[in-house]
Copies of this chain bind each other. A is one copy, B any other.
Amino acid sequence: MSIHLTILGCHSATPRVNAFPTSQYLEINNRHFLIDCGEGTQRQMRKYKVGFSKINHIFISHLHGDHFYGLVGLLATYGILSREKELHIYGPKGIKEVTLLQLKISQSHAKYPMIFHELQSKESELIFEDDKVSVKTIPLNHRVYTNGYLFTEKEKARKLHMDNISNYEEISKADYLNIKAGKNITLSTGEVIPNEELTLPPKKALSYAFCSDTKYKPNIVPIIKNTDLLYHEATFLADREDLAIKTKHATSKQAAQIAKDANVKQLIIGHYSGRYKDITLFQKEAKEIFKNTYLAEPGKNFKVDE
């Protein structure tokens, strides 16, 4: 069970020479996801050696240009690369029309099945689930309809505790499936051996929460409670909270407060406004509230293992 996050872009508004709009590549429990896709994302993917063909699911938080203008180019490139596999795209209502019109007008070679999952709910909902991972939306509060995404590994079954099992001659291989399924074992004496004695806990299921863009929204805390890794936007420093309120963004201090209240293990901040030349100020401000804070930077990797 592991999380490996690669920051492809983490700046707000317009692409600049060393500032790339939001995009992240997430490997979680052997699943591979792309989150947001600002202009230039496909080049960043090549730069940081993200395998294009591994990705089958793309999650777009909202339809501001700095979070999705790179999507059509990536989809067209998949066509040029002769992709045949299904690609699932999750995002706000409207994403399908605008994307398909662009692909049509540019006569792209994208012939693979492209499945759009358009989101409209204002409540957190389960939007993806397989045997490895589930993905839930985190409704955010921005100038347009926006969701964050919570990626959670599936709990594995408890493992056989062979040392303890060997204490009971009567327990045989025939019982193993029942033990793995969580059942207690009743011996011929009538004694009940609790499942906890016969098994070891599985590796912990990890989770990653992506929250961008949003104003300070404390009611996301229950959804992301105890998350291992949280990315929360921090467009401004606290000295410009007025601008954060006006533009429905968060300050670094607010991002840290969310991390603290949600009792997450690690916080990554990003989506820095271009007005700040020294992004270490964001980390400094956040650390006063939540010590385990790190800065998103293009090409930076964050790993969590359990």
Query: Which A residues fall within an 8 A CB radius of B?
Result: 13-17, 39-40, 42-43, 46-47, 63-65, 68-70, 72-73, 76-77, 80, 94-95, 97-98, 101-102, 105-108, 143-144
Q: Report the separation of the CA atoms of residues A46 and B39 in the bound assembly, to the nearest whole angstrom.
A: 14
Which chain B residues lie closer than 8 Å to A17 at the CB level?
Answer: 43, 46-47
Cα(A15)–Cα(B42), bound, Å: 7
Top-4 shortest CB links A-B: A14-B77, A15-B43, A39-B73, A65-B106
> Are A43 and B46 in touch, CB under 8 angstroms?
no
Copies of the chain in the assembly? 2
Cβ-defined contact, A69 with B73, below 8 A: yes
> In whole angstroms, what is the CA distance A222 to B33 when docked?
53
Given the known interface contacts A69-B72, A72-B69, A102-B98, the answer about A14 and B107 at a Cβ–Cβ threshold of 8 Å is: no
Q: What chain B residues lie within 8 Å of A72 (beta carbons)?
A: 65, 69
Residues of B close to A65: CB separation below 8 A: 72-73, 76, 102, 106, 108
Closest to A14 in B: B77
A73 near B15 with CB under 8 A, answer yes
Q: Which residues of B contact A46 (CB under 8 A)?
A: 15-17
Measured CA separation A13–B14 after assembly (Å): 23
Query: Given the complex of chains A and B, what is the CA–CA distance between A47 and B108 in angstroms?
Result: 29
**Chain B residues, CB < 8 A from A40:** 15, 39-40, 43
A70 touches B14 (CB 8 A): no
Residues of B within 8 A of A77 (CB): 13-14
Note all chain B residues with C-beta closer than 8 A to A144: 107
Cβ A14 vs Cβ B98 within 8 A? no
Assess the A94–B105 pair: CB atoms within 8 A: yes
Q: Is the CB of A80 within 8 A of B14?
A: yes
List the B side residues contacting A43 at CB < 8 Å. 15-17, 39-40
Contacts of A98 in B (CB 8 A): 101-102, 105
Of A14, A16, A40, A95, most buried by chain B (CB within 10 Å of CB) is A14
User: Which B-chain residue is minimally distant from A43 (CB atoms)?
Assistant: B15
13 intermolecular pairs with C-beta atoms under 8 Å apart: A13-B80, A14-B76, A14-B77, A15-B40, A15-B73, A39-B73, A63-B105, A63-B107, A65-B102, A65-B108, A95-B105, A97-B101, A107-B143
With a cutoff of 8 Å between Cβ atoms, the chain B residues found around residue A106 in the complex are 63-65, 68-69
Within the assembled complex, what's the spacing in Å between the Cα atoms of A107 and B98?
Answer: 13
In the assembled complex, the Cα of A265 lies from the Cα of B13 at a distance in Å of 42
